[in-house]
Amino acid sequence: ETGVTQSPTHLIKTRGQQVTLRCSSQSGHNTVSWYQQALGQGPQFIFQYYREEENGRGNFPPRFSGLQFPNYSSELNVNALELDDSALYLCASSLALVTGTDTQYFGPGTRLTVL
Amino acid sequence: GDSVTQMEGPVTLSEEAFLTINCTYTATGYPSLFWYVQYPGEGLQLLLKATKADDKGSNKGFEATYRKETTSFHLEKGSVQVSDSAVYFCALSDRGAQKLVFGQGTRLTINP
């Protein structure tokens, strides 16, 4: 069984640029969630995708956007990068159930540095 | 809104010591509760979970009991090892919720 994978592992960008991060979900999972983890902090929920539709969003501006593809992989796009966007971006996959979303399993993350 | 509060770190213990990391939560519904662990340079790994009151989650010698009356989910281990050194996150998820809400994390260092 393949776990959650993310690419790239590290990325350096400058202010104002745009970035795309990618995530492949665990086999059998249909839901992908994205989190931002600033240094020394707990992860903060950005948004979740279920069957290619956004299914909940945290307190992040519209310049954070995403996609989910038919194979349930996902992208996180961030436009007009700011210094405060420097963080570890974590993707988590899960299986949505009738009774709610099951346990989320995390990938290794993408470390984004904005200069 | 929902929130999770963990004991402040860092925590430093000697090998074979007893470990407790406190976690309390605030939630409007009946959340599921989780402990995740993050080793240096890695993502989060699920350590254990509990989905209803009085459930005990356990894994790798770690345990935590879902206490609804005290809104707590404290993590315990009877005898820690150097390899347990990591950052530990307590988290909750409402049923049907779209997100996990995390505490700020507790850094644990175990000295030989």
Q: How far is A80 from chain B (nearest CA, A)?
A: 25
| C-beta of residue B84 within 8 angstroms of C-beta of residue B66 | no
Which of B30, B38, B44, B49 best probes binding to A when mutated, by most A CB atoms within 10 angstroms?
B44
Chain B: residue whose CA lies nearest to A42: B104
Q: Return the residue matching tokens 């956004």.
A: A54
- The distance of B62 to chain A (nearest Cα, Å) reads 18
Sequential pLDDT tens for chain A (115 residues): 568 999 999 999 999 999 999 999 988 888 999 999 999 899 999 999 988 999 889 999 999 999 999 988 999 999 999 999 999 999 999 887 655 557 889 999 999 999 9
Q: Which of A4, A6, A45 sits opposite B99 (nearest CB)?
A: A45
pLDDT tens readout for residues B19-48: 999 999 999 888 999 999 999 888 899 999
pLDDT at position B28 is 84
CB contact under 8 Å between A103 and B49, yes or no, is yes
Q: Residue A81: its pLDDT value, please? A: 98
Do the chains contact at A33 and B99, CB–CB below 8 Å? yes
The torsion of the CA quartet A35, A71, A69, A113, rounded to 10 degrees, works out to: 40
CA quadruple A4, A10, A16, A18: dihedral positive or negative? negative
**For chain A, how big is the Rg over CA atoms in Å?**
13
Dist CA B43 CA A108 (whole Å): 4
Rounded to an integer, what distance in angstroms lies between the CA atom of residue A12 and that of residue A78?
Answer: 13
* Nearest Cβ partner for B43 among A42, A90, A101: A90
Could you tell me which residues are beta bridge partners of residue B23? Answer: B6
Phi, psi of B11 (to 5 degrees): -115, 130
- Chain B CB contacts of A41 under 8 Å are 104-105
Mutate to test the interface with B, among A5, A95, A101 (most CBs of B within 10 A): A101
Exposed / middle / buried, residue A36 (Cβ in 10 Å: 0-12, 13-18, 19+) = buried
- Ranges of residues in chain B with a pLDDT under 50 are none
- The DSSP annotation for A32-49 comes to EEEEEE-TTS--EEEEEE
Cis, bond preceding A62 (omega within 30 deg of 0): no
pLDDT at B95: 65
- Supply the DSSP string of B78-97, one letter for each residue: SS--GGG-EEEEEEEE-TT-
